[in-house]
Structure 1
Amino acid sequence: MRFRIIILVVVMITCGAIILGCGGEQKTADYNIAVIAKSTGSDFWQNVKRGVNAAAIEYNTNVTFIGPENEEDWSAQNTMIVSAVARGADAIVLSAIDYELTRDAVDAAAAAGVRIITIDSGVDSGNVSAFIGTDNTEAGRLAGKAALELCEDTPAVLGLVNYSESTENVREREDGLRAFAAENGMTVAAVANVESNTESATAGAKKLLSEHPEINVIIGFNEWMTLGVGYAVQDMGLSEEVVAVGFDSNVVSVGMLETGEMDALIVQNPFAIGYLGVKSAVELLGGKDIAAVDNTSIIVVTKENMFEPEVQRILFKFW
């Protein structure tokens, strides 16, 4: 009797699964999607990858996630685009290192029938179907606004620590900041353009602060630049004299915010960028219309709001 009951239960479960499989809304997409990032080492790109993987599971699609060792190696990234086409990618989701020098590889991929979506940073090509990412001009303005508020009544004199000028989102962030600064009587004293790593950013920030003692605000434009700014302020003992604003977040920069080396972080939503990049690629390949631009969220985090539940969720990636 017990054996019959077990068999009956198994049959009922199997039938139920079949019914649910046939009657429920199951998202399936047998596509090959190559996600090519600027690099893979930072917290930002690891959280983009988490979003990519979540969408791959939800939409039952095949996804690869790769990127060069550093965010300057546009040549390696172009090779990755060529390789993705050769491997039979149906779509490439790309964050372009170089706005112009990546164009030929993208155009060749499109000519081979591959659909192109950009995330985080775009490329100078008419073959891109959509961009998903931060409104970087607005993010730059938010950095300026945060600095202005933190300076209170003191005139703001800015030092900027930025990376490759050939990357689109870099230009847009700095353009947004400069526009806000000009509108609000803020002065940009000097800019250091450095390689996108902590060591170069720290050296660049220290050089700015040493050569331009009038600087009372220093801004870093990505995760590595932010760490460099924070370390420079820390090493030079300037946390009381200099307002430090950065982009993106990780455990170290959040710690710097708590201890005072950083004063504000402009935090993007990398998980959403990765997730929506793959989702949009699946929809595009399935014949759906998708928005040409899909801007993801930005939040300004300071010591005053960093412990709020919603901010904690964003900082520590509990999506």
Structure 2
Amino acid sequence: MTCLKSKKLWLVMACFSLAITLMACSASVSHEQVYIAVIPKQGKSSFFREVASGVNTAATEYGVRTTFEGAQNEEDYETQNSLIKRAIHANADAIVISAIDENKSNELLEEAVSKGIVVITIDSGVTYDGISQHIGTDNKESGRIAAKELCSMEPGQLNIGIVNFEKHTKNAIEREAGFMEQMEKESSVRIMDSVSTVSNASEAADATKELLEQNPTINAIVAFNEYTSLGVGYMIREMNRQDDIHVVAFDNNAESIGMIENNEIDRLIVQNPFAMGYLAIESALKEIEKRDTLTPEQFTEVLVVSRSNLYEYENQKFVFPFED
């Protein structure tokens, strides 16, 4: 009799424990039910293809559903806003966005947050302060790094031309700001001109040509994203200026790596877009399930690439991700 009572008591306790466990599980969102809308500036560049690779890896690992869709170009904030609206109407659990304009999407992102949607920015942020986290390169610091690299290549007077991209994009603004802050500390530096162009290699090449024609004493150029870097490299090649103009540029693809090899670009500031995509999914899931307190910013690493370290073994995955 005592044994029977003990068995019944054990069964009751086991059922109670199971009920508590099931209640706890139902209180959190099942990973299979989670939908995260990822909205890059656009999806065609090597940079954002690597972001997509990081997103897909994390989505597979954590078992969440994602979409990855951007505008046709990195100036088309209206299409990007339409994608945000679509994500809101689809009741996304989170929106991950690389913002084309630091201001133009703020109202929609505020609406998303008001409806309980987690917002994470990657690569290029916004001025709206209701996001859960920003993940990306420390853009001001990377601008400072670019300045230091240029100064290290020329012991004499530096006459610098700046080729930047969309002037309302936060990472463009921050990189140039960091660059200028560092250059203000240097005595033998003169900023000859700064131009902004759309994120298109052909137009960046035209802007570079005009910059050099109007400022013939320029002996150093900095370019701040993948397309401006390619445009500068193309024009250095076309004008045969490899030996008299130092170039520090951003981002890597097969063409820009070739430009390093051919002396058309001297240094590349290589970012880690795979990590941005992966960490964005990871952070969004943490915030959805309230498992952790997110820091306001999470910086990903950069690597300075030159001809001297291009083929070093430890740099291969960083420099050549597009070969996979």
TM over 0.5, shorter chain: yes
* 1:193 counterpart residue number: 196
* 2:49 counterpart residue number: 46
Gaps of 5+ in 1: 1-26
179, 183, 186: which one aligns with 1:184: 186
> 1:28, CA displacement in angstroms?
4.0
User: Is the aligned partner of 1:283 residue 2:286?
Assistant: yes
User: Is the aligned partner of 1:140 residue 2:143?
Assistant: yes
Moved more, 48-57 or 211-220: 211-220
289, 293, 311: which one aligns with 1:307: 311
> 1:245, CA displacement in angstroms?
1.1
In 2, Cα distance between equivalents of 1:155 and 1:304 = 24
Q: Aligned AA for 1:66?
A: E
254, 257, 260: which one aligns with 1:257: 260
Q: CA RMSD in A?
A: 1.3
User: Is the aligned partner of 1:271 residue 2:249?
Assistant: no
1:227-248 alpha-carbon deviations (Å, 9 max, x no partner): 0010010000000000011100
* 2:161 counterpart residue number: 159
Q: Aligned AA for 1:158?
A: I
User: Is the aligned partner of 1:94 residue 2:123?
Assistant: no
Moved more, 138-147 or 179-188: 179-188
Aligned length: 292
In 1, Cα distance between equivalents of 2:237 and 2:199 = 20
* 1:204 counterpart residue number: 207
User: Is the aligned partner of 1:298 residue 2:305?
Assistant: no
* 2:81 counterpart residue number: 78
User: Is the aligned partner of 1:69 residue 2:72?
Assistant: yes
Q: Aligned AA for 2:165?
A: Y
Q: Provide TM-score, normalisation by structure 1.
A: 0.89
1:220-263 alpha-carbon deviations (Å, 9 max, x no partner): 11000000010010000000000011100000000010110110
In 2, Cα distance between equivalents of 1:266 and 1:119 = 17
> 1:30, CA displacement in angstroms?
2.7
In 1, Cα distance between equivalents of 2:64 and 2:123 = 22
Does the CA-based 8 Å contact 1:140-1:172 persist in structure 2? yes
Q: Aligned AA for 1:292?
A: P
Partner-residue secondary structure (3-state), 1:219: strand
Partner-residue secondary structure (3-state), 1:183: coil
Does the CA-based 8 Å contact 1:29-1:282 persist in structure 2? no
* 1:19 counterpart residue number: none
Moved more, 309-318 or 261-270: 309-318
* 1:172 counterpart residue number: 174
In 1, Cα distance between equivalents of 2:177 and 2:263 = 27
In 2, Cα distance between equivalents of 1:307 and 1:285 = 41
In 1, Cα distance between equivalents of 2:115 and 2:289 = 18
In 2, Cα distance between equivalents of 1:116 and 1:29 = 19
Does the CA-based 8 Å contact 1:205-1:228 persist in structure 2? yes
Q: Aligned AA for 1:172?
A: E
User: Is the aligned partner of 1:103 residue 2:106?
Assistant: yes
* 1:22 counterpart residue number: none
In 1, Cα distance between equivalents of 2:36 and 2:251 = 26
Moved more, 219-228 or 103-112: 103-112
Does the CA-based 8 Å contact 1:38-1:70 persist in structure 2? yes
Partner-residue secondary structure (3-state), 1:241: coil
In 1, Cα distance between equivalents of 2:68 and 2:92 = 12
Q: Aligned AA for 2:249?
A: G
Q: Aligned AA for 1:139?
A: S
Q: Provide TM-score, normalisation by structure 2.
A: 0.88
> 1:87, CA displacement in angstroms?
1.1
In 1, Cα distance between equivalents of 2:223 and 2:136 = 19
Extract structure 1 runs of 4+ deviating beyond 6 A: none
Q: Aligned AA for 1:217?
A: A
* 2:115 counterpart residue number: 112
In 1, Cα distance between equivalents of 2:86 and 2:115 = 12
* 2:20 counterpart residue number: none
